[in-house]
């Protein structure tokens, strides 16, 4: 009985102590604000996402455009480098060709110089032979200078008279002269007689006449051997040395184009 009488009281206490399920007003408002804020954040998030993607796309496209420009420039540079390389290869080939041609020209020039040197050597040797042959052909000849000249003269008779009268060669008329004549053309108005060249038949006669030619000193008449022009020039160069050696009392002999002093061949820049 006692137990049952207390049951309604416990129920009343439990009912009094248990909080009510209906929220208070401030709590509801705060929750509502939180829900609204989260909703706005979600809305903003949904609105911002398309904008970020679009910007990223534009950025990517811009960069891709720049990459295309860079790629185009790279292609252009590669083409230019290729052209430069081709130009260098062409220039190198040209240089090699020029080197080869230059080497061939040098070789040709060297060969030409060698041939020219040989030709000059042969020409010099040939010229020496010609001069020697000319000198040999003049071996029996003598030159007579300043013999009076007349239009109707006989040069053989003039020479014979000179040999007999001024050189004292008694048998002068027997000396055989193959031929004789004046040299060069007569100059109108000139009183100087032209030289006479005479070829003697017998070489010893020529030598005998030369040995007596010193007797003509002071007469203005002179006798000498005949030589080619080249030898005459060489002899003229040797005359001062020959004269000096004679003044020094030395033995002198001029043979063709060679001067001997005291039996030794004179050479320019020598001790003589």
Pairs from 92-96 (Cβ < 8 Å, separation ≥ 24):
none
Query: Whose CA is closest to 225, among 119, 137, 121, 111?
Result: 137
Q: What is the CATH number of the domain that holds 215?
A: 3.30.70.1820
Same domain as 151, residue 124: no
Does pLDDT of 13 surpass 90? no
* 138, 160, 194 - which closes a domain: 138
Give the pTM. Answer: 0.57
253 within some domain: yes
Number of domains in the chain: 3
Phi/psi of residue 225, each to 5°? Answer: -75, 155
- Residue ranges making up the domain that contains 110: 60-138
Q: What is the pLDDT of residues 48-71, one digit of tens each?
A: 445 577 777 778 877 777 777 887
Dist CA 42 CA 214 (whole Å): 151
117 within some domain: yes
Same domain as 222, residue 246: no
147 within some domain: yes
Same domain as 123, residue 146: no
Dist CA 135 CA 129 (whole Å): 10
The predicted structure's pLDDT at residue 40: 59
202 within some domain: yes
| Residue 257, both tokens | 């184009």
Q: How confident is the model at residue 28 (pLDDT cuts 50, 70, 90)?
A: low
2 within some domain: no
126 within some domain: yes
Average pLDDT over residues 14-30: 50
Same domain as 115, residue 155: no
Q: What is the pLDDT of residues 172-195, one digit of tens each?
A: 999 999 999 999 988 887 889 999
| Residue 191, both tokens | 């009183």
Identify the bridge partners of residue 75 per DSSP, sorted by sequence position.
Answer: none
| Residue 57, both tokens | 């796309």
Same domain as 214, residue 144: yes
Average pLDDT over residues 127-153: 93
Q: Name the strand (E) or helix (H) holding 30.
A: helix 25-137
125 within some domain: yes
13 within some domain: no
């Amino acid at each position: 009985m006692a137990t049952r009488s207390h049951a309604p009281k416990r129920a009343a206490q439990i009912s009094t102590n248990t909080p009510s399920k209906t929220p208070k007003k401030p709590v509801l408002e705060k929750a509502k604000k939180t829900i609204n804020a989260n909703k706005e954040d979600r809305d903003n998030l949904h609105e911002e996402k398309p904008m970020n993607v679009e910007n990223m796309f534009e950025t990517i496209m811009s960069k891709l455009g720049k990459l295309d420009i860079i790629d185009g420039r790279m292609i252009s540079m590669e083409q230019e480098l290729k052209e430069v390389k081709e130009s260098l290869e062409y220039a190198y080939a040209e240089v090699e060709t020029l080197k080869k041609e230059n080497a061939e020209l040098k070789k040709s020039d060297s060969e030409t110089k060698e041939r020219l040197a040989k030709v000059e050597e042969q020409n010099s040797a040939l010229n020496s032979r010609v001069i020697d042959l000319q000198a040999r052909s003049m071996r029996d000849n003598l030159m007579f200078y300043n013999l009076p000249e007349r239009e109707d003269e006989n040069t053989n008779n003039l020479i014979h008279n000179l040999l007999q009268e001024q050189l004292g060669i008694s048998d002068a008329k027997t000396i055989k002269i193959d031929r004789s004549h004046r040299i060069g053309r007569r100059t109108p108005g000139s009183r100087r007689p032209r030289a006479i060249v005479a070829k003697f038949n017998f070489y010893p006669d020529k030598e005998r006449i030369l040995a007596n030619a010193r007797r003509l000193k002071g007469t203005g008449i002179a006798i000498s051997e005949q030589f080619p022009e080249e030898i005459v020039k060489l002899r003229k160069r040797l005359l001062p040395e020959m004269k000096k050696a004679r003044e020094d009392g030395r033995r002198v002999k001029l043979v063709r184009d060679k001067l001997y002093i005291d039996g030794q061949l004179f050479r320019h820049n020598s001790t003589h």
